[in-house]
Amino acid sequence: MSRQWIETLYDAFGQSFNVDKVYFESKTEHQHLMIFHNAKFGRMMVLDGIVQTTEKDEFIYHEMLTHVPILAHGNVKRVLIIGGGDGGILREVCQHASIEHVTQVEIDQAVIDMAKEYLPNHSNGAFDDPRANIVIDDGINFINQTNEKFDVIISDSTDPIGPGEVLFTSPFYEGCKRCLNEGGILATQNGVAFMQIDEVTTTAKRLAQVFEDVTFYGASVPTYVGGIMTFAWASDNAANRKVDMDTLTKRYNASGIKTRYYNPAIHQACFALPQYIVDELNSFDK
């Protein structure tokens, strides 16, 4: 009987995975990191007892968190990634030949190192892309200290527990606003709404204090259990969220990117939210 690994994100519920082989397990400077193989999902990374990414379903999350803001914007030259140590977001960003520069700020060098070694297809060489500048630091430190400006900022953080917590705060969002060029877009990992609805409403309240146009979009990622993973969306240009299908299709085709989940129809549909989320978002004064 192979070892079972049980996710500890929720008190009263946990999904379990057979562990066929452990590639790495250690306490890094910041968090407990484990990479193991599961027959259904392939190699998996977990941090502090929470599923981060799997070989089998990572494409859904990485494509949606990357291509929705970039193709909505339409003229992205500079991207900032906060977190994302597995390299999946960086891989998707670097698919866009029109992007001139991407800075990635990751707090834990060990995550990058272990992902390169045991999950090489996540970054697929993107860490060596000449446009990529990798910074090892707490994302909020970088945001508070940089004078650089970006067209899109993607926060691919852990959950708001431990080192990731600071990336869900008002000071972080205010800093992101300061680091965005005019018409820029912030997109963030914001949890599975059905299981973490408080994260959605808390983020909505905080972002609404900083940005003109705030909403969420979604995609179902099997190992982020409980329904749609919500991505927070913040911009001062509401038109970014209302790009017509013809324009999206032209941009998608011109980009030359290859996708397995994202397409223009999914892009347009993903902003449609279930009524229970809409009701929660309407239940407080922004």
Which positions are catalytic? 156
Nearest-approach distance from CB 238 to ligand SAM, in angstroms: 26
Which residue do the tokens 């941090």 mark? 47
Nearest approach in angstroms of CB 168 to ligand SAM is 10
Residue nearest to ligand SAM (CB): 85
Query: Residue 34: which residues within 8 A CB-CB, separation 6 or more?
Result: 5, 22, 24, 25, 45, 46, 47
Nearest distance, CB of residue 1 and ligand SAM, angstroms = 29
Q: Which is nearer to ligand SAM, 11 or 29 (CB)?
A: 29
CB closer to ligand SAM, 139 vs 264: 139
| Least distance CB 70 / ligand SAM (angstroms) | 17
CA 67 to chain centre: 11
Q: Which is nearer to ligand SAM, 79 or 248 (CB)?
A: 79
What residues make contact with ligand SAM under the rule CB under 6 A? 52-53, 61, 82-86, 105-108, 111, 138-139, 156-159, 163-164, 166-167, 189
Cα separation, 17 vs 34, in Å, equals 13
- Cβ nearer to ligand SAM, comparing 95 with 157: 157
Distance CA 217, CA 272 (A): 7
Q: Region of 74 please: left (phi>0), alpha (psi -120 to 50) or beta.
A: left
Neighbours of 165 (CB within 10 A): 14
d(CA 99, CA 109): 24
